[in-house]
Structure 1
Amino acid sequence: MVSNMTEFVLLLGSCERMFRGPYDTHLYIDNFMFGRQVEKQQVMSVLLQENLPDPFAPAVLPIIGISRVGKKTLVAHVCSNERVRSHFSSVLHLNGENICKMEYDEASIPAGPGRTLVVVEFASDIDDESWQKFSSSARRMGRGSKIIIISRIEKLTRLGTVRPVRVNSLSLEEYSYLFKVLAFGSTDPEEHPRLASVANELAVLMGGSLVTANVCADIFRNNQNVEFWLHVLNKYRNVVASNLSTFREHPKLRMERDRRIDITKLVSTSTSAPLHLMPPHCGDDDSTRGLPKVRFGDLIAGSAVVPKEEFELVARESRIPPYKKFLNVAKFSDQLKSSRRQHRRPSPSNKRQRLD
């Protein structure tokens, strides 16, 4: 009995500690991952266990969730865990396009006795033949290697060999708590009930958007004035109403679907035409180089000079791995109409075909 208890205590000592507080977990000053303890444990459990029944066939773990919900942040924190870092000799980051274009020779996938963790991000689906070539090549990796798939595409769960981990939006209670922690900083919300009331109402309006929460929290933390907070609340209330009226969808839902969002009501000065936020793009997109840049927080706070033509809106730059930049192009409605006409304009070859 004593021997069994000793083994049990040793076993518990080797396990990662779980935190009792559901909100304080992973809450650090400035750089933090909020919550996600359950999801983190699920991912780590897969990464640290043996591949069965074939130890040389890498287990494939899909991590699925809507846009901008924190999938890559979750993986980054798992990869930075000391147990995971010591378990794998190397970590390889790829995207779906890489896989489709790869030549599967001996140099394309690392081979050797050490375990390799491959993280693949998919923006679109992949055909089964391309995936089969990749997974066959991945068998050359060391025993116990793993593959993580990151995507918002539910169909990609078919590629998994283990149960997928789904990263969902935070509950309203969690989201509201997180927003107030970010917005108040070191200030106690209970000492400012009017500000806390505004924060609670705004948390409901934002619909769980982590990007919007961070943008608003940044400007609130630097200006804890009730009138200013109410001004921002009214702005965002009008934005939500405008999108519900025009598109019959909440801005958060349109963001998840990569649809343009009407942000005219965020601009303090009157504009000649409605202003729309276009779907996000990569920071190295050549098509947006040279555009004027405006910080989203400055636009909301009313401290930005709005360009007369399209511009790049910098929503935020993540302070935690993978340090992602959230960028969108803002266009006025007359520019949208002009670009649509250009896309619809037939090419000279098409004109000749019709004339012939």
Structure 2
Amino acid sequence: MGLCGVTQRFDRVVRPETTSLLNETQIFGRDKELERVLGCLIVPRNSKRRRETCSVSALRSNHLGNGSRISSLRVLPIAGIGGVGKTTLAQLICNHQRVRSHFDLIIWICVSDDFDVKRLTKEVIQSCTGKEATADNLNTLQEILSNYVNNERLLIVLDDVWDDALKKNGQCWKRFCAPFRSVQEGSLMLVTTRCPKVTEGMCTMEPVILEGLNED
């Protein structure tokens, strides 16, 4: 019929905003994927908080003074088709006791197909402080954010990311990530996406690919 494949888009009215709170009371069939992500987060099996960091070579970090800073934030995509459970897995991770006791900050941002660097930066600042960011200059916003996350062990989740994030040859993505260079070693960004381009363009480690659940 001459039809051409196009990337489906979701209006925010149709695609509701997600949060870090679990919608489900029980999660089935994702134990393997959960353990894989916990391993990538380098979360201790003992829930007691531990401040020691992992090897420099594993995280490609730079050491500054007495603290451990990173040269670039690790990015782990959780990829799969729509409805397969990417958001639910990310929620499960954010609410896991070992994760919550391990990280100083856990931030959840629902992105969808509007990757506006200024808007997202404001939302991250609001998540850190509980207050709306009033500045409208991107440089000011990024300096504020960099100060808030400075030397903090951070887990940030970007839920439902589309290839719009890689526009302008990836400059928008790089600009958004710039303030996170001041976070502590061991920090990580989880990105949920159904777009192969996002998985390939953002990952710094092997992505977690979610398949459909077994019949049982």
Q: Post-superposition shift, 1:136?
A: 2.1
Worse-superposed segment, 44-53 or 119-128: 44-53
Residues 1-356 of structure 1: matches in 2 within 5 Å? 31-48=25-42, 50=54, 52-54=59-61, 56=70, 57-96=72-111, 97=114, 99-101=116-118, 102=121, 103=138, 104-109=141-146, 110-125=148-163, 126-127=165-166, 128-157=170-199, 158-171=201-214, 173-174=215-216
Cα distance per residue 1:7-66 (max 9 Å; x no partner): xxxxxxxxxxxxxxxxxxxxxxx8200110110011111112645112513210000011
Residues 93 and 99 of structure 1: is their aligned pair in 2 closer, same or farther, counting only changes over 3 Å? farther
Contact 2:117 2:175 in 1 (8 A): no
Is there any run of 5+ residues in structure 1 with no aligned partner, and where? 1-29, 175-356
Opposite residue 147 of structure 1, the aligned amino acid is M
Q: Which has the higher helix share?
A: 1
Contact 1:99 1:131 in 2 (8 A): no
Cα distance per residue 1:203-251 (max 9 Å; x no partner): xxxxxxxxxxxxxxxxxxxxxxxxxxxxxxxxxxxxxxxxxxxxxxxxx
The answer to which structure, 1 or 2, has the higher relative contact order (CA under 8 A, 6+ apart) is: 2
Q: Post-superposition shift, 1:69?
A: 1.1
How many angstroms apart in 1 are the aligned matches of 2:116 and 2:191? 12
Q: Post-superposition shift, 1:114?
A: 2.4
Contact 1:48 1:87 in 2 (8 A): no
How many angstroms apart in 2 are the aligned matches of 1:41 and 1:47? 10
Task: Work out which of the two has the higher radius of gyration on C-alpha atoms and give 1 or 2.
Answer: 1
Q: What is the TM-score normalised by the length of structure 1? A: 0.38
* Identity between Structure 1 and Structure 2 (%): 31
Is there any run of 5+ residues in structure 2 with no aligned partner, and where? 1-23, 44-53, 62-68, 122-137
Cα distance per residue 1:283-316 (max 9 Å; x no partner): xxxxxxxxxxxxxxxxxxxxxxxxxxxxxxxxxx
Contact 1:48 1:84 in 2 (8 A): no
Residues 48 and 99 of structure 1: is their aligned pair in 2 closer, same or farther, counting only changes over 3 Å? farther
How many angstroms apart in 1 are the aligned matches of 2:42 and 2:82? 27
Contact 2:161 2:191 in 1 (8 A): no
- SS of the equivalent of 1:114 reads coil
How many angstroms apart in 2 are the aligned matches of 1:108 and 1:37? 34
- Count of residue pairs brought into register by the alignment: 144
- SS of the equivalent of 1:107 reads helix
Two-structure CA RMSD over aligned residues (Å)? 2.0
Residues 85 and 31 of structure 1: is their aligned pair in 2 closer, same or farther, counting only changes over 3 Å? same
Stretches of 4+ moved more than 6 A in 1?
none
Cα distance per residue 1:151-174 (max 9 Å; x no partner): 111111121111000111112x22
